[in-house]
Amino acid sequence: MATEQTTGQPSESISSVLSERRKFPPPEAFSSKSHISSMEQYEKLYADAAADPDKYWGELAGQFHWFKPWDSVLEWNAPFAKWFNGGKTNISYNCLDVHVNSWRKNKAAIIWEGEEGNERILTYGELHRQVSKFANVLKIAGIKPGDRVAIYMGMVPELIIAVLACARVGAVHNVIFAGFAAHAITERVNDSRAKMVICADGTRRRGGSINLKNIVDEAIVNTPSIRNVIVLKVTNEKITMHDGMDHWWHDLMGLAEDECEAVQLDSEHPLFLLYTSGSTGKPKGILHTTGGYMVHAASSFKYVFDIKDEDIYFCTADIGWITGHSYMVYGPLLNGATVFMYEGAPNYPQWDRFWDIINRHKITIFYTAPTAIRAFIRAGNEWVTKHDLRSLRLLGTVGEPINPEAWMWYHKYVGQEKCPIVDTWWQTETGGIMVSPMPGATPTKPGTATRSLPGIMVDVVRKDGTACEANEGGYLVIKQPWPSMLRTIYGDDERYEKTYWSEFPGMYFTGDGARKDDDGYIWIMGRVDDVVNVSGHRLGTSEVESALVSHEAVAEAAVVSRPDDIKGNALVAFVTLKDGYEGDAKLRDALGKHVAKEIGAIAKPDEIKWAKGLPKTRSGKIMRRLLRELASSNEIKGDVTTLEDIGVIENLREQEDE
Ligand code: WT7
C-alpha cells in the first residue's frame, strides 16, 4: 500500500506551542552527595568528552573487566561502527563475577515481588549460580556463540537469568514482550532464525493468568529454525509438552552443574536483538553488541540515576522493551545495584500497588512512564497520599514527552517536592539514555529532557541539515557515533543506512521532531514519521494497517493517531470494506480482536471509522495529514489541492455527524 512520505516535512511545519517557565534547581541535600554535583562539573565533563571522545569513552571502558584490552576505541566506517575493537570481554561476567569476587557477593541483586505478594531475593552470589547453571543448560542444548535464542515470559527473575545465561555463552537473546501475539513471535523467530524459545507456561495478570505456552505452540508451527522449547513453570497452566521438542526448565536445571566460565567474546560480538516498529509493516531487528553497549548502559545508569550501593531501584518497565534491558538488567547489575522487580499490573489489587511497594520495600529510586503517571492522576490522589514515600530520593520518566501538568503532579505527590525528576530521552536504537538531566546538577523544567549526556552529540536541525536557532522547531539528530548505538538492522544493512543515516548525511536521524530553548534544553515534539507512540510504546501505523487488511472484510485501511489524555496518542483506523460487508458494531469489534490477535492488545485501534474511500493524492498516496486532522478535530484546515477526489473527505465527515 502506498503511504505518504511524511519524514520530509519542511521545518516550518513543525511548530512548537509549549512555553514552560517553571525551573527547579536540584535540592542542595541531593547535589551535595551526587556523582555529578554541579553544572560546572557537567559542563567540564561535556567539554572534555567533546574535545576527545576516545579518551572519554576509553576511560569509562577501562572500569570493566576485559580478558584482552581493545586495539582502538572507535573504528568508524560510516554508518558502521566498531567500538573497543580487538578487546575481549563478557557482559555477564561484568554483571556477576566481578561482584561475586567482591564484598557484594551477598548483596541483593534482585528483590522480586509477585502479583500475589510473594517475594524472592536473589543475591549476586545466588544469581551468579543460577545464571551459570542455566548457561550450562544452553550449552547442553547445543547453543553456540552467535546463535539466536527467543525469550517469551513474564516478569519473573528467571527472565533475567535466561538473558544473562545467553550473554554468558555468547548467544544472542531476543526477548519478545509477553503481550505480543503468536504472529509476532513467528515473525521475530523467522527473521532472526532463532534456534530455541525459552518461555513460561503462563504469566500472571491482574489476578488471572495468560497461557504463554499455548501461544508459543501456535507460533512455532511455522518456524523451521526452532529446535527446542524450554518451559518454566510459573502459573501451572494446562499445557501440552511435546516429546523431543519441549523441556521443563526445572528438569534441565536439576541436571546442570553450577559453574560455567563466561566465554571470552569480541567486543563487537552481538549481544541481543530487540524488534521495534518502523514506518513500514515489518518490525526492525535492532542489533546491539557487547562492549560499547556495556559501557554506555552502565555509565548512563550511574550518572542519570546517581546510583549508590544503599539504593533500592525500582523500574516499572517490562524486560520485553529496551528500558527493561538497559535499566532493569544490564545498567543496574553492571553497577552492582539492587533492583526491585514487580511481576504484575500497577492497579492490582488496587491503584496504589506501586506506592504500597515503595513504602514496604523502602524504594529510593523510581523510574516509570508518563502514561502510567497520567493513569495514576486519573485514579485519584488519595491512592498516593495514604502511603509514606519518604524513602524516595529520585524519580525518572521515559517513553514519551511528559506533559508539564503530569510532571508537576509527579513532583508534588510522589516526589514530595524534594526528589529531582530525570526525564530521559532515548530509543531502542540508542541502547541507553541520550538526553537527561544530571539529577544533582541540572535545573529541571517540567516537560523537557534537558541536555545530552557527556559524549553524546545531539542537535536540532533543519531539513537541509543546518542547525536550528533557539526555539525553532526541527529534527532531532545525533552527530557522532556513541558506544551503545545499534550496529545495524538485523540482516538488512541497507534498511539501516536508509532509515537512520540518509535523511541528514553524516548524522543519525532519530525520527523525532524537537526544539532547543534558550537554555539549550531539548523539547521533544513527537515523531515525524508514520510511527506512533501509544502508552510509551512505539507502533508502526502500517503494521496495524497490514493487520487490518489481512482481515477478509477489509479492502484498505489507514491508521493515524490523535492525542489522548492517558495513552498520549490513540489510534484511529479508517477502514474501507470489501463489497458485501456491512460496517456495523459487530464488525468493528471483530476487527479490534483481529488486530489484537495479529499483533497484540496494545495495537488495537481505539476507534474504527468506516470510509467509502480514503483521501489520496493523484499519484495514489494516502494523505495521512488529512486523516490526522479529521481524527483529532473533524476539520480540515490544511491544503487539499493535491487531493484526487474531494468527495472522499465529505463522505468521511458526514459519517461523523451521524
Ligand atoms: C521513542 C523511542 C527508550 C525507551 C522507551 C521507548 C519517544 C522516549 C522520551 C522522552 C519524549 C520520548 C521518542 C523516541 N521518547 N523517551 N523522555 N521524551 N519522547 O523506546 O520504543 O524505542 O521509542 O520514544 O519519540 O524516539 P522506543
Q: How many CA atoms lie within 13 A of 552 on its CB side?
A: 3
What is the band of 12 on the pLDDT scale with cuts at 50, 70, 90?
very low
The three three-digit cell numbers of residue 628, written as one number: 490526522
Helix axes 53-61, 39-51, angle to 10 degrees: 110
Rounded to whole angstroms, the Cα distance separating 633 from 560 reads 13
Rounded CA separation 56/34 (Å): 20
Q: How far apart are CA 67 and CA 453, in angstroms?
A: 28
The per-residue pLDDT of the chain, averaged, comes to 93
The reply to whether ligand 1 has any atom less than 6 angstroms from the CB of 529 is no
**Length, in residues, of the chain:** 658
DSSP bridge partners of 288: 272
For ligand 1, whether the C-beta of 401 sits within 6 Å is: yes
CA distances from 234 to 107, 112, 163, 220, 562 (A): 26, 14, 17, 21, 38
Digit-coded pLDDT (tens) for 143-171: 999 999 999 999 999 999 999 999 999 99
Contact 271, 283 (CB under 8 A): no
pLDDT tens-digit series, residues 489-505? 999 999 999 999 999 99
Residue 646 has a CB neighbour count (10 Å cut-off) of 12
Nearest residue (CA) to ligand 1, atom 7: 400
CA separation, residue 277 to residues 26, 180, 325, 332 (Å): 36, 13, 17, 26
For the sheet with 508-516, list strands across it.
458-461, 474-478, 508-516, 522-527
- What amino acid is encoded at 385 in this protein? T
- pLDDT tens-digit readout, 281-292: 789 999 999 999
> How far is 382 from 594, CA to CA, in rounded Å?
38
Question: Which spans in 599-643 are helix H?
Answer: 624-633
Residues 215-249 have pLDDT tens digits of 999 999 999 999 999 999 999 999 999 999 999 99
Instruction: From 327, 426, 436, give the residue whose CB has the most ligand 1 atoms within 8 Å, as the site to mutate.
Output: 426
Element containing residue 572 per DSSP (H, E): strand 568-577
Mutate to test the pocket of ligand 1, among 7, 323, 325, 538 (most ligand atoms within 8 A of CB): 538
State the Cα–Cα distance between residues 222 and 644, nearest whole angstrom: 42
Asked whether the predicted pLDDT for residue 648 surpasses 80, the reply is no
pLDDT value, residue 21: 76
Query: What proportions of the chain, in percent to the nearest 5, are helix, strand and coil?
Result: 35, 25, 40
What string of DSSP letters covers 509-540? Answer: EEEEEEEE-TT--EEEEEESSSEEEETTEEEE
Count other Cβ atoms within 10 Å, centred on residue 640. 13
**β-pair partners for 365:** 313, 394
| Beta strands 522-527 and 531-534, pairing class | unpaired
pLDDT of 622 reads 80
- For residue 122, CA distances in Å to 90, 159, 254, 595 come to 21, 13, 18, 39
Question: Which tens digit of pLDDT belongs to each residue from 418-444?
Answer: 999 999 999 999 999 999 999 999 999
Ligand 1 pocket test: which of 284, 427, 436 has the largest number of ligand atoms within 8 Å of its C-beta? Answer: 427
* Confidence band of 616 (pLDDT split at 50, 70, 90): confident
Residue nearest to atom 8 of ligand 1 (CA): 399
What is residue 658's predicted lDDT score, i.e. its pLDDT? Answer: 40
Contacts of 646 by beta carbon, 8 Å cutoff, 6+ apart: 640
Q: What is the pLDDT of residue 15?
A: 54
Q: Is residue 7's pLDDT more than 70? A: no
Q: How far is the CA of 136 from the centre of ligand 1 (A)?
A: 36
Q: Is the pLDDT score of 590 beyond 50? A: yes
Ligand 1 midpoint to CA 610 (Å)? 31
How many Å lie between the centroid of ligand 1 and the Cα of residue 477?
Answer: 14
510 lines ligand 1 (CB under 6 A): yes
Q: Return the ligand 1 atom nearest residue 435 CA.
A: 17
Domains and CATH numbers, the chain: 22-455 (3.40.50.12780), 535-657 (3.30.300.30)
Distance, CA of 482 to CA of 487 (rounded, Å): 11
The tens digit of pLDDT for each residue in 306-363 reads 999 999 999 999 999 999 999 999 999 999 999 999 999 999 999 999 999 999 999 9
What is the band of 11 on the pLDDT scale with cuts at 50, 70, 90?
A: very low
pLDDT digits (tens, 9 = 90+) for 76-94: 999 999 999 999 999 999 9
Listed range (4-18, 315-329, 483-497, 612-626) with the worst mean pLDDT: 4-18
Give 422 Cα–ligand 1 centroid separation in angstroms: 14
Q: Is the CB of 427 under 6 A from ligand 1?
A: yes
What is the model's pLDDT at position 625? 82
pLDDT tens-digit readout, 384-416: 999 999 999 999 999 999 989 899 999 999 999
Q: What is the pLDDT of residue 14?
A: 53
Position 535 scores a pLDDT of 87
Q: Judge if the beta carbon of residue 326 lies within 6 A of ligand 1.
A: no
In this prediction, residues 464-480 reach a mean pLDDT of: 96
| Ligand 1 atom having least distance to the Cα of 531 | 25
